[in-house]
């Protein structure tokens, strides 16, 4: 008689009035790492390979200038437009990285106002999509790792997922045996110390955060 599979095990990681975070671990007997040691670097490389296999482009960027330049390329590609330097500067400073915007404004922009109006050099106006919600396959997805930024202190993010050049998800990786709470604590520290440094580029959109343990 065939034995029934073992039930999934869920552990509560964080609990609040707004949300509950749980972890689930399902061992893979075929994995060479199930009985061995896997470093965080190995976990990071394996995770990025998985994303690349799902058509995520790897982005070798480590500076804010590189992140902004990539954002411009991705938005120009999505909207099939070439912006002048003056047009891009106006759009970036008012519609993406406005100094007056906090997390609420950035969230509303992505969720409710993902089409922004650009005033072009010739006086005409053009709709610029941050995300194409009607045709999701028009959007580009990228992944970068070890992005470092100076804020109240220097922080380096493990893995960041971008949609059309906008950082959408920060993922903190922890090897087996490390309490997953450490990853959430790091993300909370990043939000205090560095997400809003510079032009707020590491959090240009409302960036959600995740923790992942192998």
Asked whether residue 78 carries a pLDDT value surpassing 90, the answer given is yes
| Antiparallel, parallel or unpaired: β 57-58 and 20-24 | unpaired
- Residues 138/78, Cβ–Cβ less than 8 Å: yes
Number of domains in the chain: 2
How confident is the model over 65-78, as a mean pLDDT?
95
How confident is the model over 54-70, as a mean pLDDT?
92
Domain with 43 in it: 10-20+38-63+138-213
Q: Are residues 164 and 148 in the same domain?
A: yes
* CATH code of 45's domain: 3.40.1350
118 pLDDT band (50/70/90 cuts)?
A: very high
Whether residue 87 is contained in a domain is answered as yes
1-15, 45-59, 143-157, 168-182, range with greatest mean pLDDT: 45-59
**What is the average pLDDT value for the chain, to the nearest integer?**
77
Q: Are residues 86 and 128 in the same domain?
A: yes
* Cβ neighbourhood burial of 24 (10 Å; 0-12, 13-18, 19+): exposed
- The stretches of 160-205 forming alpha helices (DSSP H) are 181-193
Q: Give the domain-ending residue among 105, 134, 163.
A: 134
Q: What is the pLDDT of residues 163-191, one digit of tens each?
A: 999 988 888 887 666 666 666 666 666 56
3-state SS record for 26-71: CCCCCCCCCCCCCCHHHHHHHHHHHHHHCCCEECCCCCHHHHHHHH
Q: Are residues 168 and 78 in the same domain?
A: no
Q: Are residues 143 and 191 in the same domain?
A: yes
Question: Three-state DSSP class for 206?
Answer: coil
Q: Are residues 200 and 144 in the same domain?
A: yes
41 pLDDT band (50/70/90 cuts)?
A: confident
- Residues 70/61, Cβ–Cβ less than 8 Å: yes
Asked whether residue 55 carries a pLDDT value surpassing 60, the answer given is yes
Whether residue 27 is contained in a domain is answered as no
Place of tokens 């450490």: 182
Whether residue 25 is contained in a domain is answered as no
Place of tokens 């999509």: 129
Q: Are residues 195 and 96 in the same domain?
A: no
What is residue 63's predicted lDDT score, i.e. its pLDDT? 84
DSSP for 61-79?
Answer: --SHHHHHHHHHHHHHHHH
* CATH code of 79's domain: 3.90.640.50
Asked whether residue 59 carries a pLDDT value surpassing 70, the answer given is yes
């Amino acid at each position: 008689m065939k034995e029934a599979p073992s039930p999934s095990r869920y552990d509560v990681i964080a609990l609040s009035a707004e949300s509950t975070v749980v972890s689930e671990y399902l061992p893979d007997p075929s994995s060479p790492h199930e009985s061995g040691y896997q470093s965080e670097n190995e976990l990071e490389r394996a995770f990025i390979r998985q994303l690349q296999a799902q058509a995520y482009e790897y982005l070798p960027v480590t500076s804010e200038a590189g992140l902004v330049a990539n954002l411009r390329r991705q938005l120009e590609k999505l909207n099939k437009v070439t912006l002048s330097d003056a047009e891009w500067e106006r759009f970036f400073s008012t519609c993406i990285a406005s100094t007056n915007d906090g997390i609420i404004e950035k969230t509303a922009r992505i969720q409710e106002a993902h089409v922004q109006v650009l005033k072009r050099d010739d006086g005409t106006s053009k709709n610029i999509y941050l995300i194409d919600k009607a045709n999701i396959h028009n959007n580009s997805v990228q992944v970068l790792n070890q992005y470092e930024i100076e804020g109240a202190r220097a922080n380096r993010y493990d893995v960041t997922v971008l949609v059309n050049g906008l950082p959408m998800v920060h993922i903190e990786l922890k090897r087996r045996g490390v309490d997953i709470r450490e990853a959430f604590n790091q993300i909370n520290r990043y939000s205090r110390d560095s997400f809003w440094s510079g032009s707020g580029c590491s959090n240009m959109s409302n960036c959600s955060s995740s923790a992942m343990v192998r």
